[in-house]
Chain A
Amino acid sequence: MSGAVWRASRAAVKRRRVQTVVIGLVVFCSTATVLLALAVISAARAPFDDAFEAERGSHVTALFDPAKASAEQLAATAHRPGVEAAAGPFDQAVVTIPADWVGRPPGPLALVGRPDPASAPVDRVELLAGRWASAPGEVVVNNPGGGAASRFVGTPLTTNTGVKLTVVGFATDMSQSSGGWVTPEQAAALHPTGRQMLYRFTDAATEQQLTTSLANATEGLPEGAVESGQSYLVLKQAFSAGADAYLPLMTVFGVLGLVVAALIVGNVVSGAVISGYRHIGVLKSIGFTPRQVVTVYLTMVSVPAVVGTVLGTAAGWVAAGPILQAAFSGISTGTAVIEPAGWLPVATLVSVPLLAALAALVPASRAHRLSAAQAISAGSAPRAGRGLKVQRWLSGTRLPRAVSLGLGQPFARPARTALTMAAIVLGVVTVTVTTGVTTTLAKSMAAPDRSTHIDVQTSAFSENKIAPRLTPEQTTAMLHTTPGAEQVSVRGLVRVGILGQPQLVFADFYGGDAMVDHRRLNVVEGRLATGLNEIEAGPAFLDQHGLKLGDRVTLVLEGRQTTVTIVGKEIQGNANAITSNDATRALLTPDPHVVEYDVKLAVGADAGAYQKAVTGADPSLSASVVTPGTEGSVVAIQTFSTTFSALLSVVAALGVFNTLLLTIRERRRDLGMLKSIGMTPRQVVAMTITSVAWQGVVSGIVGIPLGILVHRLIVEHVRIIAFPDSMIDVWGAPLLAALALAGVAIAVLGALVPARSAARLPIAEVLHNE
């Protein structure tokens, strides 16, 4: 770039400070939005794949009946066609762990006998703390949350059969092949009930391929030898379940962000070029070549665009970390690293300025073609009128003239008006979607009653590790007789096995007075599991286990089993959790495994006195007044929605701001003249705001139905939450009326400052300059 071109570009940037700031701000907000959206979308998949491949994860973790298939037969399956690699066979035994053992709920724990897997062909389990089990009596515990838990190394474990083990390490694996690992000798001593094989197949892209590959590998084994086969695709789906909740929303916001950014950047940039035609003419008249003129304008736009992109990328990057943390909280991430992908900043840093430059290129090439004389006259000679019929008709109406002038103004620049309106429409869509999503979520979290509840936690569930003074039955009786109690319900929590499934699931057993804890999740399909051998589960559990209402599964606990029917679908819930009742629990275990009680207080009861009485009766209990809680992912979704809505609304308002700024600059002479013949400042403001307010109204009419449609699409595709129609249909007349104002609000918000600047335009200066 020659010195003259650079100097002209620098002068243009300096002279158009407001325009430069607007371009920078629009690009900043758009870049941050796009980066956040892409971060969540990419994080939902890539980390699992990366970590899984690094560990050479098991495509299928198969469990065999040792009575039907010998170790030699299983070892031979490793060499069957289609098997890329295999590890095993390993003996698997199931032991029962007591309450309050290394911070886990009580229940069965599958232990696999494996030598150090650091260089195994499949499932290279990663050690998090301590060391691998090298001698009988040592156990390494799987810690799927990924935390080191080194403080528990050395903790003893006495199994239900009296075998004594010591925790020597914690490990994790993406394949989730076991609850813990011991030496092969120790596994054999634990009376194994199964043999494990870990396979990697050459064709493993789909469930169908996995089923076929496993069938090929196990061909020739006796019938019934394969007890179960856990697919890595199910784990992958479980891994992204939390993020899946965000995906539809983030995808919508990501796409909206991209489109709004493209529209506004295009509008802002092309407007900057069009409004600079006179300047272009001057440059050409003093000897700038057409190419140099284009360079000046591209540079003028690129400087703020690059600054906006860099800052937007930085802001998006900083925000992406906490947002991803929220999205993946509570998910077994194993060794997967949840962080924004490294290519994201590169992508935004390259693509966004390119988008701005492309947007500038179209009008700049027009400037390229204009002769110097044409370009100069574009700024001063009378223009042929545009939108004439509309303006003529408006001037004959009974509307105040300032209003009719404002209404007609946008017709003079139809393309600019269309781009601005498109941005407002998208802003309205965003606000509508956000309002819909947050209203739906608020409804889903609404407390079923307004009574005061006391949450009483046992030592199994709280940090309070004092030995209990009362038995569960005595505690229930005490809670009933303590003054103020109206109802007492009990919640037991234990991990149970499901026949044919290698992983254990959490089971909540509710009992007591109401059989329904006030925090218990709503059932949106079917009914509450209050009868014997009935369970309910969330959509994620049903989805990932391929189950539906009416299906029957067999629960296994402490050597007992019972077959239960799925009678209810909960609104949401953990992908590895089911809900049942105390009577069903009694079929599996005599221990109620109580972790907490819910006490509904009578109206007017003293909650403080009740809490005090409870902890006085048994200091191992901790009691607290329940405040209407919010589920983590729900709060996160609301936070996202609000953040994105605010971002996109600001971008849309900036679009309006810029459009008006350009219009005012172009119409300075007209404004000066209107003021010279007696248009008051208030009339100028009214005219300017009217020119965009009606666009806001039209945008509302277009944007609200679109937003309602998008809201429905989102809530119907959040796979971990099943919203009933009553929670989806949130659109009452008052809400729609409020939303109708959203477009106007965005438009007026963007118009206020330019309108005031138009009202303050110095007439003498404007008219003198012309």
Chain B
Amino acid sequence: MSNDHDGTTRPDDAPFVVELSGVHKEFGDAKALDGVDLRIRAGEAVAVMGPSGCGKSTLLNMVAGLDRPSSGTVRVQGQDLGGLNENGLALFRRRNVGMIFQFFNLIDDLPALDNVALAAQLTGTTARQARRRALELLDELGVAHRKDVYPAALSGGERQRVAVARALMNRPALLLADEPTGALDSRSGEQVMDLLIDLNQIGQTLLIVTHDPNLATRCASRLVEVADGKVARERMLEASS
């Protein structure tokens, strides 16, 4: 049994959601990843830290199926991403992965509700069903009252909550967060951290890339430090919240 970030226990035999084995990634002559091995079990919250340019965002892109390794294998939910074409990767992301970004990446021309519903509608869910589920999520995240507001009129924290709701829309096995508090003021950042902790507490697997030690220690149960494209160190974290 292992400790989770909040002190609860997680079975050691929980299935692996993410399995990276000998992953290399080169951009021309530059090595972004240099033989990375990483495994994340279901329900785990893992933070990846490291200096700028160390390869942590590239690592996240590999797991999300946004980029392909030069060599090595990336398996998510038991699926080898190397065997998927662009279409297959899109379907994989749709079914298995939710992503939140530093700059939210909401569509400016759609109100909060439709931004969230969009992810489900791409799978063929009807507009009515998608909006109902989106409203539930916005409600759970405390921004239901802002459902008809367009991104330009939302605060940073509200935008990130809407982005989280969108990421959770298709009930992904894995939630990926790239500097989720990087563009937020401290109060909004705290709120987003609480939200991630809550999600992990109800079993959501998290992979967070961040520069912020506070975010890593508060939200993650394990810290992976990356340097020069390699996993330099891994350690379990004590719960701090």
Interface residues of A (CB under 8 A from B): 381-388, 391-392, 395-398, 400-402, 408, 412, 669-670, 672-683, 759, 762-764, 767-768, 770
A397: nearest chain-B partner, CB-CB: B127
User: Which residues from B are CB-within-8-Å of A412?
Assistant: 109
Contact B150 A384 (CB under 8 A): yes
**C-alpha spacing A767/B90, complex, angstroms:** 16
Check A382/B106 contact, CB under 8 A, given A401-B118, A677-B93: yes
User: Which residues from A are CB-within-8-Å of B126?
Assistant: 398
B64: CB under 8 A from chain A?
yes
Check A384/B122 contact, CB under 8 A, given A676-B66, A680-B87: no
Contact B114 A677 (CB under 8 A): no
Contact B131 A396 (CB under 8 A): yes
Which of the residues A383, A400, A674, A675 comes within 8 Å of B152, measured between beta carbons? A383
Q: How far is the CB of B211 from chain A (nearest CB, A)?
A: 15
Contact A678 B122 (CB under 8 A): yes
Q: How far is the CB of B174 from chain A (nearest CB, A)?
A: 13
User: Which residues from A are CB-within-8-Å of B86?
Assistant: 680-681, 759
B125: nearest chain-A partner, CB-CB: A401
User: Which residues from A are CB-within-8-Å of B117?
Assistant: 395
User: Which residues from B are CB-within-8-Å of A683?
Assistant: 90, 122
User: Which residues from B are CB-within-8-Å of A673?
Assistant: 101, 105-107
Contact B110 A385 (CB under 8 A): yes
Interface residues of B (CB under 8 A from A): 57-58, 61, 64, 66-67, 86-87, 90-91, 93-95, 98-99, 101, 103, 105-111, 114, 117-119, 121-124, 126-128, 131, 150-152, 159, 166-167, 170, 178
**C-alpha spacing A382/B151, complex, angstroms:** 7
21 A-B pairs, CB-CB below 8 angstroms? A382-B159, A383-B109, A384-B108, A384-B150, A385-B108, A385-B110, A385-B111, A385-B151, A388-B109, A391-B114, A396-B127, A396-B131, A402-B122, A670-B108, A673-B106, A677-B93, A677-B166, A677-B167, A681-B87, A762-B67, A764-B67
Q: Residue among B58, B127, B178 with the most chain A CB within 10 A? A: B127
Q: How far is the CB of A278 from chain B (nearest CB, A)?
A: 14
Q: How far is the CB of A770 from chain B (nearest CB, A)?
A: 6
User: Which residues from B are CB-within-8-Å of A674?
Assistant: 107, 118, 122
User: Which residues from B are CB-within-8-Å of A770?
Assistant: 101, 103, 105
Check A395/B122 contact, CB under 8 A, given A669-B105, A680-B90, A763-B66: no
Contact B90 A678 (CB under 8 A): yes
User: Which residues from A are CB-within-8-Å of B64?
Assistant: 676
Contact B91 A680 (CB under 8 A): yes
Contact B108 A677 (CB under 8 A): no
**C-alpha spacing A470/B123, complex, angstroms:** 88
User: Which residues from A are CB-within-8-Å of B95?
Assistant: 678
**C-alpha spacing A681/B111, complex, angstroms:** 24
User: Which residues from B are CB-within-8-Å of A680?
Assistant: 86-87, 90-91
**C-alpha spacing A762/B27, complex, angstroms:** 14
**C-alpha spacing A677/B170, complex, angstroms:** 9
User: Which residues from A are CB-within-8-Å of B58?
Assistant: 764
Q: How far is the CB of A684 from chain B (nearest CB, A)?
A: 9
Contact A676 B93 (CB under 8 A): yes
User: Which residues from B are CB-within-8-Å of A395?
Assistant: 110, 114, 117-118, 121, 127
Q: How far is the CB of A613 from chain B (nearest CB, A)?
A: 71
**C-alpha spacing A384/B86, complex, angstroms:** 32
Contact B105 A767 (CB under 8 A): yes
Q: Residue among B61, B109, B117, B178 with the most chain A CB within 10 A? A: B109
**C-alpha spacing A767/B101, complex, angstroms:** 8
Other than A396-B127, A670-B105, A763-B66, give 16 A-B pairs with Cβ distance below 8 A: A382-B151, A383-B108, A384-B108, A385-B109, A395-B127, A397-B127, A401-B118, A408-B109, A677-B119, A677-B167, A678-B119, A680-B87, A680-B91, A763-B67, A764-B67, A767-B66
Q: Residue among A674, A677, A762 with the most chain B CB within 10 A? A: A677
Contact A382 B99 (CB under 8 A): no
Which of the residues B67, B91, B128, B131 comes within 8 Å of A678, measured between beta carbons? B91
Q: How far is the CB of B36 from chain A (nearest CB, A)?
A: 16
A395: nearest chain-B partner, CB-CB: B114
**C-alpha spacing A670/B93, complex, angstroms:** 16
Q: How far is the CB of B216 from chain A (nearest CB, A)?
A: 20
Q: Residue among A384, A673, A681 with the most chain B CB within 10 A? A: A673
Which of the residues B57, B67, B152 comes within 8 Å of A384, measured between beta carbons? B152
User: Which residues from B are CB-within-8-Å of A402?
Assistant: 122
A682: nearest chain-B partner, CB-CB: B87
Contact B110 A391 (CB under 8 A): yes
Which of the residues B111, B122, B131, B150 comes within 8 Å of A401, measured between beta carbons? B122
User: Which residues from A are CB-within-8-Å of B111?
Assistant: 385, 388, 392
User: Which residues from B are CB-within-8-Å of A381?
Assistant: 152
Which of the residues B57, B90, B109, B124 comes within 8 Å of A679, measured between beta carbons? B90
Q: How far is the CB of A381 from chain B (nearest CB, A)?
A: 8
**C-alpha spacing A674/B94, complex, angstroms:** 10
